[in-house]
Every structure is written in structure tokens, then in C-alpha cells.
Amino acid sequence: MGICVGMQVLFEGSDESPLEPGLGVFEGRVRRFDSAAKAVPHMGWNAAQAVRPALPQQPDLGDERRYYFVHSYAVPYTGAGRQREFAHTATRYGDEAIVSALWQGSVFATQFHPEKSGGAGLLALRSFIEHDLRRRPDAPAGDVLAPADIRAALTTRVIACLDVRANDQGDLVVTKGDQYDVRESAAAGGGVRNLGRPVDLAQRYFAEGADEIAFLNITSFRDLPFRDTPMLEVLRQASRRVFVPLTIGGGVRDIVDPDGAHAWPAVQVAGEYFRSGADKVSIGSDAVYAAERYWQRRADGAEPCDGSTAIEQIAARYGRQAVVVSVDPRRVYVRAPEAAPAHHVIATTIPGPGGERFCWYQCTVRGGREPRDVDVRQLATACEALGAGEILLNCMDRDGTNAGYDAELIADVKAAVSIPVIASSGAGCVEHFSEVVERTGVDAVLAAGIFHRREVPIADVKRHMAERGIPTREAAPCL
């Protein structure tokens, strides 16, 4: 069985590494998606549509189930030639149809990740492990679907985010801030808000239908060697119980152990997180510094992408789909665009405190405590050029307010990049989720506090979005 790249290497070659031949087990070449009319990577839950009539015993896949895809390269589905013999399912992403599963002889392979596809993926894995899925050479090929018959079925992802830190007693807890302040009021004791244990909450969200789970480590753990960082164990435990993608953010940077005995480049830090169960790493402050350096090198006439940043190094080793850039911008109001000539200024329907009708979004570092002279569009476009595969777009002005997402911010960034964008900060009711998708075309929506406190269940969000005509994944029960 081959999964993702494990399927791609079975073909004759790939545009990703044009000088390296594939194994040539199957006819065809792996091509990069066209990003002119859609975000690339293809990231999210999509259908795997059977292209031929069912056989008595075959891999347990279903047209109405949804599977997790994350890739920039794929084998185009033609329904012609030798492909008629081995193509088992096909998937539509935008204007392109691709082979999403193949089955011939003793080989079964998927472009999607069954191990990250919840109950639907576990059914596929079980059918491969427990049954003899050998497809006999004399099995009738039958008619196959034409590429035009492959239906669009990509869903909008709903992501649960868990801010994780040590409380005053040293216990690791999930917390949530109001505009980045995670402590209770003085009247309530002033302690860190404790909304539950990270692994328990992650398992709960998986059962409730979350499409992804993001852990944000907001404690530095500077007094511990990196290998003893508690977040590594959180990922190990979560990955044994949770079968959807896991993202880890916070601390993905160059690290030196407290005793100075070992230095960890950011790419090695990311590698440890991946080996512990993470699927993606999220980079925050270091992404701002990388964007500043990118624009400075461009101004100096130097090559802006020289391979020195964590974004570039992690993307080069693990693929751009593994790198998320988490942005913490805030509004800066101005009277006119000319007042901020170095920045991307937009007209806003939400006037400033002095009645200003224009603003730009200033990026911050160190958990929002330090503003930088770089705007959100400059950061997003620079990080895409450096190799980021996704933007997690927070908003300091909306965090913890339950006033809804900042659609002006999200639409502006979505229009500036060709990689997926996640909307974050401000959700307070189910209508906020559908509104931001309809207004901006964002690829995913994220929330934290309202999920932790059970104010808005994930199932209600998905039900409402589906009623509005926004495709969502229905969680399949686990084995």
C-alpha cells in the first residue's frame, strides 16, 4: 500500500523532481496543480469517487465519504489508456481531476491520507489489512467515468485550536485569552484560565467532527532540554487517539538547550514534532522576521530566498504543505492611504476612533506584544514566496470578542496569495462561520473558546454551514 508520495513514486516520474525517475509500475507522470484559479496545495477533505462498477471484494471506499488530501502534485485523471486498468477513484480539485486511488494486482495506493481521514480512512486501512484485496488480472475493467463526470466535493474545514500553557501549579492546560490575556480577573483569582487537558480536549473535538486540531504552545519551557518539552508527549498521545491532521505552533525556531550542550536548528525542531505526530508546524514571530529580511534583501538587489529561514528549510525538507504561517495583525487607522505610503492600506466600513475610513494591518511578534513595521499583505506574500503552504490569519482586534471574524482583513489576504487561508479570531455564533466563508472564500475556519466552553458545538457549525450551501464533512464513526 502506498500513501500520498508513496503512490506518486509508483509512476514514471514527477514534475516535483524532474531528473529523478519514478518506479514506473504504472503509466503516467505526476504534475503540479495549476494555481491560476485555486489555492495550492490542495489541502482539505474531498471525495474519492469510484470510476468503475464495484467488484465483490475491493478497498472499502465510499463516494459520499470524505478523505484528507494535502499535496501540490498529482496524477491527472484521463480515464484513458492503461489508466483504465488501475485507476480506482478520482477526485476533482477546482478545474482538474486527479487519480486519488489506484488498485491493480496486489497494489493499493491513495493520494489522500487514510490515517488522517477519521473513521472513513480507518475503514480503508482495515479493508487493506484484514482482507485479500488482490485484483486479479482477468477482472473486468468495464467502462470508467470520463474526467468531466468527476464531481466537485471539497469541503470547508472547521478547525479547533487549543492554546496550551503551564498554569501556576506547573500543570499543562488548555487556556484562552481575551485579546491575548489568558489570566482571569483579579476578582477571580488572577490565575491562568483552565479549560481542560490538551489530549482530552483534542480527543473530544475529534469525536465531535473537527476537521483538524491545532495546538499552540504559549509557554516557552526554556528551562527544559528540547527533547523534554511537554508538547512532544502531548503530540504522541494525541496522535494515538486522534485521526485528523494535527498542527503544532509555538517554539518552532532555533533552540539551544539550557546547558548549552545541544543546539536545535528550527528544521530539526520541526522534525521532532513531525516524528511525535504533528502533520504541520506553525511559525509565528520568526515568520515576521523572515518577511522583513525578504523585503530588505529585495530592496538591496539580493536574492530574497537564499534558504536561510526556517520556512525555507522546513518546506525544502518536508514540503510546503507542512509549513503554516500564523499571523497576529492589528488595525492601524489612517486618514488617507497617503498617510502610510509604505504599507497596503484598505478602505474600511468599520471607522476608527477618530472617524478614520482607512486602515492597514500591522504585524506583531512575541504574542502580540511587539509591533513591527511590516503589514499583513507584505508578510503573506513574502512567506508564500519563501515556501509557506498555508496562512493562519488571526486578528488581535477581534480575539475573544465573539464579534465575528474580520472579513475585510481575511478577504484582503485571500486575494493576495494562492495558498490556503484559515480565518481565525472573533467567532461567537454559527452565523459568523458562514458569513466569513461567503464573503471571503476562505479555505478553513478556526475557533477556540466557544468550542472549549461548549457555547457553540462543532456539529452546529457544520449543520448551519451545510444549510447555507457550504460543503462540510460529516464525521464518520470510528472503528
| Given 4, 161, 359, 383, the catalytic residue | 4
Cell numbers 509557506 correspond to: 388
Pick the catalytic residue from 42, 88, 113, 432.
113
The reply to whether 131 belongs to the active site is no
Is residue 115 part of the annotated active site? The answer reads yes
Of 56, 21, 204, give the one whose Cα is nearest residue 127: 56
- Whether the Cβ atoms of residue 174 and residue 163 lie closer than 8 Å to each other: yes
Does the active-site annotation cover 328? yes
* Residue 163 annotated among the catalytic residues of the structure: yes
Cα(370)–Cα(320) distance, integer angstroms = 27
As a whole number of Å, the end-to-end CA separation of the chain is 20
> Are 75 and 8 contacting, i.e. CB atoms less than 8 angstroms apart?
yes
Helix (H) or strand (E) holding 364: strand 358-365
Helix (H) or strand (E) holding 375: strand 370-375
Peptide bond into 258 cis (omega under 30): no
Calculate the alpha carbon distances from 172 to 51, 199, 214, 253 in Å: 48, 10, 16, 21
Q: In whole angstroms, what separates CA 10 from the centre of its chain?
A: 26
Is 213:162 a contact under the CB 8 Å cutoff?
yes
Grid coordinates representing 137 are 488480472
Phi-psi region of 152 (alpha: psi -120 to 50; beta: other; left: phi over 0): beta
Task: Tell me how far apart the 2 most distant CA atoms of the chain are, in Å.
Answer: 77
Among residues 60, 96, 163, 375, which one is catalytic? Answer: 163
Judge contact between 122 and 68, C-beta under 8 A. Answer: no
**Which is catalytic among the residues 115, 233, 257, 431?**
115
Quick count: other Cβ atoms within 10 Å of Cβ 216? Answer: 24
Q: How far is CA 175 from CA 145, 165, 183, in A?
A: 49, 7, 9
Q: What secondary structure does DSSP assign to 124-153, as a single string?
A: HHHHHHHS---B-TTS-------GGGSPB-
List the grid coordinates of 441.
472564500
Residues 14, 20, 25, 27, Cα dihedral to 10°: 40
Is position 343 annotated as part of the catalytic site?
Answer: no
Among 292, 326, 324, which residue's Cα sits nearest to residue 218? Answer: 326
Hey, what's the cell of 422? 484559515
464 by DSSP, 3-state: which? helix
CA gap 355, 334 in Å, rounded? 9
- Among candidates 439, 437, 479, 467, which has minimal Cα distance to 158? 437
**Active site members:** 4, 113, 115, 163, 328
